[in-house]
Structure 1
Amino acid sequence: MKSRARSMLDKSIAAMLSAIEIYNKPDFNYREETFSVLCINAWELLLKAKVLQLARNQVTSLYVWEYRELKAGGKSKKKYIKNNRAGNPMSVSLFEAHRIITEEYGVKINNAVKTNIATLAEIRDNSIHFINDDLSLSIKVQEIGTASLQNYLHLVQEWFGPVLDKYNFYLMPMAFFRGFDSVNGETLNASEKNLLKYIKSVEKEYDNEALSDYNLSLRIDVNFKKVKSGSGIPVQITNDAKAPVVRLAEEEIMDKYPWDYDVLTTRLKKRYSDFKANAEYHSIRKSHENNEKYCHQRLYNPSNPNSGSKAYFNPNILKEFDKHYTKQS
């Protein structure tokens, strides 16, 4: 049975695949608008899947909680679940999910990722004003969208393992369906001009950043070259029964051991009044790193047992730290 986090992840992947499929259609007049809506939806579901993973799949971790107004005046001391207009629990927003992951659990996310999502959200919010024939804005959407896909791929891989290996995640370069080398005059209205100005101002903050796994925007340069018959990539297939077999079940492993060192340390700081990340803490932690009940050493290269590894922890390890530290009142 799938965990809640994995089910949420599957929905996120479905949304992102839909965004790519819509964008790559050869004739689609609402391309950028639909892509931005679905892409942001995919990001929100991914971040919520990560919250669920970190919170041991407790769905209440995604609820909005509030102090209620008392009839006698003032606020209640107890927090209650806030309901939406339909009477169902209201879930946290995209950026609140990002805050929970980074602040409540201490997961490090490159700042370019948040900026990219915020920029894409601006595009989504302004999408009703788009004029699809304007290439200056369309090009920016593709550059930001391409970076967003790359960021998404790397985070899914880092958080949930190789669950996207069977998919092709790319946006078709505009050269394949647009006259990208010419622009038909200035068609931007006031809202579009403001949006494009905003995008360019954000991009300036990253002008001096080198290309990395996480970026604000990426441009695809297309060059057509004649390929010779012998220039393909060589492939070798073996039927050797002694050849090593690699079985990957990273999604199950990451679901069981969702916390790395930074997350564990952050959770302990928030849980105990007398906790310090000192030699005593490191000694307690290391004493449990060989216990599969609490820790898994994840290889950087699963096919090479001699590669380096990183420790990931099961949240149940908190029970061991409870023996040494005092819980917050």
Structure 2
Amino acid sequence: MKSRTRAMLDKSIAAMISAIEIYNKPDFNYREETFSVLCINAWELLLKAKVLQLSGNQVNSLYVWEHRQLKNGGKSKKRFIKSNRAGNPMSVSLYEAHRIVTEDYGVRISAAVKDNIVTLAEVRDNSIHFINDDLSLAVKVQEIGTASLQNYLRLIQEWFGPVLDKYNFYLMPMAFFRGFDSVNGETLNASEKKLLKYIKSVEKNYDGENLTDYNLSLRIDVNFKKVKSGSGIPIQISNDAKAPIVRLAEEEIMDKYPWDYDVLTTRLKVRYENFKVNNQYHRIRKPLETDEKYCRKRLYNPSNAKSGSKSFFNPNVFKEFDKHYTKKN
């Protein structure tokens, strides 16, 4: 049976694959708008999968909690799960999921990733106002979308291991299905102009930066050249039966040991009133890193036993820290 984390992650991947398939259709008049809707949905599900992983698969970590209004006009001390119009628990938003991951658990996510998501969300939110038929806006959406895919792939690899090895994630360059030499007679309407202006204003914040692991937008330059026989890129196809076993073990490790050093430190700060990052903390933590009940080393490259590694902790490590620190009320 799948864990809640893996089920949520699979839904995220399915949404992103659908976004790519829609975008890469040779004839689709609602291309950029539909891609942005599905891509943002994939990001929201990915962040929620991370919240589930960090919280030990506790589904209530995704619920919106509220203090109810009392008859005397005050607020209840106890928190209750907020319901949606259908009477089901209301889940946190995309941006709240991002806040939980980065603030409540201390996971570091590049500012370019959030700005990319926010910018793509603007395309989604403005889709109701237009059906894009202008090349300048289409190009900009592809640049934002290409960077979003790269950011998505890198974060999944970092958070959940090599679960996307069997997929090809790319957006087909527009040179394959649009003529760059001829632009449609349509011009940007008022809504499109404002959206394009907003995207360019965000891009200015990254004008002086070089290409990094995480980016706001990426441009694909396509050049058609005649290729001689034998000049293609060499490839190697593997049918190694052991590969799925490695992926499964990697997923299990990340599910059981979801906290790295930064997350562990953040959670300890939240839990204890007298906790400090000092020599005492390091003296307590170091021996725990050798105890498989609380810690597991994860290889940067699971297929290479000699590659570097990083320590990940099980939330049960609280039991040991409880012996040394005072919990907050």
Q: Same fold (TM over 0.5)?
A: yes
Q: Which runs of 5+ in 2 are unaligned?
A: none
Corresponding residue of 1:79:
79
Contact 1:300 1:308 (8 Å CA) reproduced: yes
Give the structure 2 partner of residue 134 of structure 1.
134
2:230 maps to 230
SS in 2 for 1:76: strand
Query: How far did residue 186 of structure 1 move?
Result: 5.7
User: Displacement of 1:307 after TM fit?
Assistant: 2.1
| Structure 2 SS opposite 1:47 | helix
The C-alpha deviation readout for 1:216-256, integer Å capped at 9, x for no partner, is 0001000111222112344568999xx99983332111111
8 Å Cα contact 1:52-1:59 kept in structure 2: yes
Cα distance change of structure 1 residues 319 and 74 upon mapping to structure 2, 3 Å threshold: same
Q: Quote the residue 1:2 is aligned against.
A: 2
How far 1:185 sits from its partner (Å)? 4.5
- 1:161 is aligned to 161
- What is the DSSP-based 3-state SS (H/G/I as helix, E as strand, rest coil) of the residue aligned with 1:304? coil
5+ long unaligned stretches in structure 1: none
Contact 1:131 1:187 in 2 (8 A): no
TM-score by length of 2: 0.95
> 1:50 offset after TM fit, Å?
0.2
- Counterpart AA for 1:38: L
Contact 2:250 2:302 (C-alpha < 8 Å) held by counterparts: no
Distance 1:150 1:181 in 2: 28
Could you tell me how far 1:257 is from its partner in structure 2? 0.7
Instruction: Tell me the distance in 1 between the aligned counterparts of 2:188 and 2:276.
Output: 56
> Take 1:238 and 1:40, find their aligned partners in 2: how far apart are those partners?
33
> Cα–Cα, structure 1 residues 119 and 6, in superposed 2: closer, same or farther, change >3 Å?
same
**Cα offsets for 1:19-73 (capped at 9, x unmatched):** 0000000001111111000000000000000000000000000000011000122
CA gap 1:238/1:186 in 2 versus in 1, 3 angstroms: closer
Q: Describe the shift of the 1:38–1:246 C-alpha distance in structure 2 as closer, same or farther (beyond 3 A).
A: closer
Question: Is 1:47–1:97's contact at 8 Å kept on the other side of the alignment?
Answer: yes
Equivalent AA in structure 1 for residue 121 of structure 2: A
Mapped to 2, the partners of 1:325 and 1:130 lie a distance apart of 57
Quote the Cα distance in structure 1 between the aligned partners of 2:148 and 2:323: 43
Q: 1:91 aligns to what?
A: 91
Give SS of 1:205's match: helix
| Residue pairs, 1:7-86, within 5 angstroms | 7-86=7-86
Q: CA RMSD in A?
A: 1.9
1:129 CA drift (Å): 2.1
- After superposition, residues 143-154 of structure 1 pair within 5 angstroms as 143-154=143-154
Separation (CA, whole Å) in 2 of partners of 1:197 and 1:49: 33
Determine whether 1:305 maps to 2:321. Answer: no
Aligned to 1:196: 196
Q: In structure 2, what is the Cα distance between the partners aligned to 1:32 and 1:238?
A: 35
For the 8 Å contact 1:257–1:313, the answer to whether it is kept is yes
Shift in CA distance, 88/244, structure 1 to aligned 2, threshold 3 Å:
closer
1:294, 1:314 within 8 Å by CA — same for their partners in 2? yes
Shift in CA distance, 239/188, structure 1 to aligned 2, threshold 3 Å: closer
Which stretch of the first structure deviates more once superposed, 218-227 or 12-21?
218-227
Q: 2:77 and 2:165 mapped to 1: Cα distance?
A: 48
Query: Residue 143 of structure 1 contacts residue 219 of structure 1 at CA under 8 Å; is this kept in 2?
Result: yes
CA contact (8 A) 2:30 2:131 kept: no
Contact 1:8 1:46 in 2 (8 A): yes
Percentage identity across paired residues of the two chains: 82
Q: Distance in 2 between matches of 1:125 and 1:318?
A: 42
The one-letter code of the counterpart of 2:198 is Y
Q: When the two structures are superposed, what TM-score results if normalisation uses the length of structure 1?
A: 0.95
The amino acid across from 1:327 in the alignment is K
What's the counterpart of residue 173 of structure 1?
A: 173
Partners of 1:238 and 1:31 in 2: how far apart?
34
CA contact (8 A) 1:136 1:183 kept: no
1:94-109 pair list within 5 angstroms: 94-109=94-109
Contact 1:81 1:89 in 2 (8 A): yes
Give 1:135's aligned amino acid: L
- Number of aligned positions between the proteins: 327
Amino acid at match of 2:36: S
Q: Deviations over 1:145-169 (max 9, x none)?
A: 0000000000000000000010000
Q: Greater shift after overlay, 246-255 or 38-47?
A: 246-255
Query: Are 1:275 and 2:275 matched, yes or no?
Result: yes
Q: Deviations over 1:238-292 (max 9, x none)?
A: 999xx99983332111111100000000000000001011111111111111111
Check 1:65–1:309 CA distance in 2 against 1; reply closer, same or farther (3 A cut): same
